[in-house]
Structure 1
Amino acid sequence: MKKHIMVLDLLFYVAIPLVVWNLGRDYMGDYYAMLSSSIPGILYSIYRFYEIRKVNFTGIFILSTLVIGTLLDFLAGSAIQLLWNNVYYSIGMALFFVMSILINKPAALFLSLDLVELQGNDRKSMKDLFYDKKVLMIFKLITLLFACRESVLTVIRVLLIHKYGVDAFDQGIVYRQIISWGFTFISMFGFLYIAKIINNMKPVD
């Protein structure tokens, strides 16, 4: 799964939802076609949560975003409200990432901490390394990038809704994935730099 993560993301978060939306809206209506198109992504997210098999920050984060996103979709009541709920969701996510920086617990740090622990590293030792002043600052900048991603998504979604109304749904799916990949690519430079710093620190420690 890890080797094909980008292909799977493209399949379950973009390709299948677009097919369901475009084929189903004439039969189910816009709102129910939107809800149906989200099901593949929900099932895929549940599977990714199952793959972690551990109640850690990453698992709680995936499960929480899944539950909140699903509730917002099903409580919308109409297609256009569902689109606006996605805007509010992006704003909430941006605020969450900013808040994690302000309380000195950047989300990127804890997501990375879970990952290195799954790879067999001691969590406490790695946490001490991650809270090195220089490393912590980079984690905060990466988390700020996460917040910027959500902010950009918010602006684009609002512009698409005003311009296309309900028809903004399929374009929103494509833009969301492109923007997510773009910011992920930029963030990778930060993670690689952190790895370089830590590799230089560990022999000394």
Structure 2
Amino acid sequence: MKNRVALYDIIFFLVFPLVVWNYGRDIIGDYYAMLLSSVPGIIYSVYRFVVLKQFNIFGIFMLANLILGALVDVLAGSAIQLLWNNVYYAYALAAVFALTALFRKPLALYFALDLAELQGQDRGKLRELFMSKKLFNVFQLITLGFAVRDIVLASLKVWLITKYGVEAFDKGIILRQAINWGFSAIFVIGFLYVAKAVQDASPSEESLEKSN
């Protein structure tokens, strides 16, 4: 299942955009080719949102991110402005992640609670466990990792735009996927650590119930 999701991500977020950009820009122009290249990814993201029924903090964040990202593209008006808007938006997202960590409301913690609840876990018990100092700090680091990822991506896009102009678009697509995969490996390690802590805590809870 995970391999299938990874394959779909490659197709909708890498292959389709590159094909549309390289073969469509001469026909419909750079700006509209950029807009059209994002359509398959948007449709795929909406499909996943509906299928998974993610009507929670994680789902709302993903849907809002999708809508705002599309608006940023549509309102750009030109190809080069679209690229710069994506840079500004990435920095804004980084600020959102950083602020939630600063105010000790790390989004990663709420994402984990939402996904665990979808799998039938008790949200109240997990929240209590996640708020323990050790795990809370892990979620803080993961959330800051999201911020760092967006800052790195945006900063590299600035360099690409200033060097290549509109031609930075396809390079940015490849770069975005590479950075996402790289940081995803780090995030997975963090979430696996949390999952192990949850698993280790489960036997103790069962023993307490038996003792009662």
TM-score for the superposition, normalised by structure 1: 0.96
Question: What secondary structure is seen at the aligned counterpart in 1 of 2:105?
Answer: coil
2:199 equivalent in structure 1: 199
2:157 equivalent in structure 1: 157
Aligned partners of 1:92 and 1:48: how far apart in 2?
24
Amino acid at match of 2:200: N
Aligned partners of 1:35 and 1:176: how far apart in 2?
17
Structure 2: unaligned runs, 5 residues or longer? 206-212
CA deviation vs aligned residue, 1:2-27 (integer Å, no higher than 9, x gap)? 55111111100010010001000001
1:59 equivalent in structure 2: 59
Comparing 70-79 with 40-49, greater Cα deviation is found at: 40-49
Aligned partners of 1:105 and 1:49: how far apart in 2?
24
2:187 equivalent in structure 1: 187
Aligned partners of 1:101 and 1:12: how far apart in 2?
31
Comparing 188-197 with 93-102, greater Cα deviation is found at: 188-197
How far residue 51 of structure 1 moved from its aligned partner, in angstroms, is 1.7
Amino acid at match of 1:166: V
Aligned partners of 1:181 and 1:51: how far apart in 2?
23
Task: Give structure 1 regions of 4+ aligned residues with deviation exceeding 6 angstroms.
Answer: none
Percentage identity across paired residues of the two chains: 54
Structure 1: unaligned runs, 5 residues or longer? none
Instruction: State the superposition RMSD in angstroms.
Output: 1.1
Would you say how many aligned residue pairs link Structure 1 and Structure 2?
A: 205
Q: Residue 54 of structure 2 contacts residue 60 of structure 2 at CA under 8 Å; is this kept in 1?
A: no
How far residue 124 of structure 1 moved from its aligned partner, in angstroms, is 1.1
How far residue 198 of structure 1 moved from its aligned partner, in angstroms, is 2.3
- Equivalent residue runs for 1:96-111 within 5 Å: 96-111=96-111
For the pair 1:32 / 2:28, whether they are aligned, the reply is no
- Equivalent residue runs for 1:81-120 within 5 Å: 81-120=81-120
